[in-house]
Structure 1
Amino acid sequence: MGDFVQINVSNSQNDTVSFEKKFPRDIKIAELKGKLEVITGASAGTMQLLLFSGDKLIAQLNDDEAELGSFAIENDMRLHVVDNVQSFIDDGNVEKFDLTDKQYDERRNTVRDYLKTRRLGKYNDDEMKAIEERKKQEQLEQEQKAESINIGDRCLVTAKGPRRIGTIRYKGTFHLKPGIFIGVEFDEPLGIHNGSVDGTKYFECQEKYGSMVPIGAIEVGDFPREDDGLDDDEI
């Protein structure tokens, strides 16, 4: 077993997997929450972490002093970040916290107090500067790649899942997520919509032939057209 574990991270605002991340197995849950606060925008103080294998709940990571590796965690599992709620898995009820941000900030022996005392997460200026520089570099790389992509180009989507080839129909912003996105019309019904998302129309195609894909998951090239031989609604 390695010293690091690679997991998918999702959050309560968007149930889909948003990114992959590698963490050391000996990181404490409180410090992990601090890092996830910077990445997801969820508050470490009211954050709950749920570990899933597929759709099966494996564990609730409630012990802030425990190490990540002390849980039954394996590569490619999913860590779901729940922000500002306390989930009761047994009966499905949800109870919201009533503490104001100021009241929580004044408390001791909390996750926020732990992070501030140890200068972790957003309370570490050097770490925040490094994250900001990394974001700027990623944005620059996205912009440079976007300049080389044209509407009508053939492309391969390199994200996990079935091999998906299609034609670029849109490039630009996406109202649900930050960054540059590419609208792809697939050769086969391996998408999730018809070019419209939540009433916003980005391009036109048949139902289940379109997807909005992060620009980093796009490879442009001379890809031959795939035969449309699928009869199901696989996405």
Structure 2
Amino acid sequence: MVRTSVVSSLCSVTKEWDENISYLQLCQRIESFTGIEPCYMRLSFEFDDGKKLEILESSNPYPFKTYPHVSMILVEDLNENSVVNQLQNSNGTESNFHLSDEEYAKRTDSVLQWKMKNNYGRFNSDSKRSQESNKQLQQQRIAELQIDQRCSVESEGQLERRGWLRFIGRIGEINDQDIWCGVEFDDPVGKNDGSFKGHIYFGPVKTNHGGFVKPLAVKTGPEFLPMTKNDQSDDEI
């Protein structure tokens, strides 16, 4: 995971990102708490040494793979008529605000308050229902899985890979809510050895033979035998 500050004209927060997140996914996540639409968003990375670099999707489709040591993401809204810029102008200043999440939530003129009033993003009832439905599907899949059984992993944008399901549970270094599946892969197509940030969750197994994925990506059963050489993928999870 990559931990950075995210600073826009109306907010400053600290977030953790999966290093495999795409540029588009990053912009969509940033929109959820800045209110800036991805099509009008300009991103710049600031590094530990203070240097800054504008990030473009064309040259950085997976920006954290190219730049894993980012300390801050600077977000600009290029739409002069956006709600964000209107709110900023109404404050009579163009300087950045550096607020804690708690302080930001108390503001009455923030993008967060605007989203709440307009049922935008996570405050949208349809979005809430979709998230709840996803949680239920995850729980149903978890009930079907069996630890130490052969498994198949199929994630969006990734080819199938196989191995053994070794772990089901929460990863405290990420959060205390999401459930993850720890897989020992047959081939070196993972990202770890069964540990995450120094905590061993299963194994340890051989380098790059371990990985953590969401339950919906996993199926267990004796039919998932090791894949042949022609079926193997070098993609990582």
TM over 0.5: yes
2:97 is matched with: 97
Between the aligned partners of 1:216 and 1:208, the Cα distance in structure 2 is: 22
Specify the SS of the correspondent of 1:16: coil
The verdict on how the C-alpha distance between 1:179 and 1:206 changes in structure 2, with shifts beyond 3 A counting, is same
1:44 is the counterpart of 2:47: no
Q: 1:155 aligns with which of 141, 146, 151?
A: 151
Equivalent residues in 2 for 1:127-206 (5 A)?
A: 127=124, 129-159=125-155, 160-175=157-172, 176-177=174-175, 178-204=177-203, 205-206=205-206
Between the aligned partners of 1:17 and 1:120, the Cα distance in structure 2 is: 30
Superposed displacement of residue 114, structure 1: 5.7
Contact 1:105 1:113 (C-alpha < 8 Å) held by counterparts: yes
Length-normalised TM-score, structure 1: 0.56
Between the aligned partners of 2:60 and 2:193, the Cα distance in structure 1 is: 27
Contact 2:192 2:209 (C-alpha < 8 Å) held by counterparts: yes
Between the aligned partners of 1:216 and 1:19, the Cα distance in structure 2 is: 20
Length-normalised TM-score, structure 2: 0.55
1:137-195: CA deviation from partner (whole Å, max 9, x where unpaired): 22222112111110122122111234311110011222215422111000001111110
2:16 is matched with: 13
Residue segments in structure 1 that go unaligned for 5+ positions in a row: 1-10, 23-28, 68-94
Between the aligned partners of 1:103 and 1:139, the Cα distance in structure 2 is: 26
Contact 1:189 1:234 (C-alpha < 8 Å) held by counterparts: no
What number of residue pairs does the alignment pair up?
A: 173
Specify the SS of the correspondent of 1:146: helix
Paired residue type of 1:224: L
CA RMSD of aligned residues (A): 4.3
Specify the SS of the correspondent of 2:224: coil
1:42-84: CA deviation from partner (whole Å, max 9, x where unpaired): 3438x96646246168xx76234679xxxxxxxxxxxxxxxxx
Compare relative contact order (CA 8 Å, sep 6+) and give the higher one, 1 or 2.
2
Superposed displacement of residue 218, structure 1: 1.3
Paired residue type of 2:171: F
* More strand as a share of residues: 1
1:88 is matched with: none
Between the aligned partners of 1:174 and 1:55, the Cα distance in structure 2 is: 29
1:84-132: CA deviation from partner (whole Å, max 9, x where unpaired): xxxxxxxxxxx9634674699455xx74576467x141696xx2x3333
List structure 1 segments (4+ residues) > 4 angstroms apart after TM superposition: 17-22, 99-104, 110-117
Between the aligned partners of 1:114 and 1:184, the Cα distance in structure 2 is: 42
Specify the SS of the correspondent of 1:216: helix
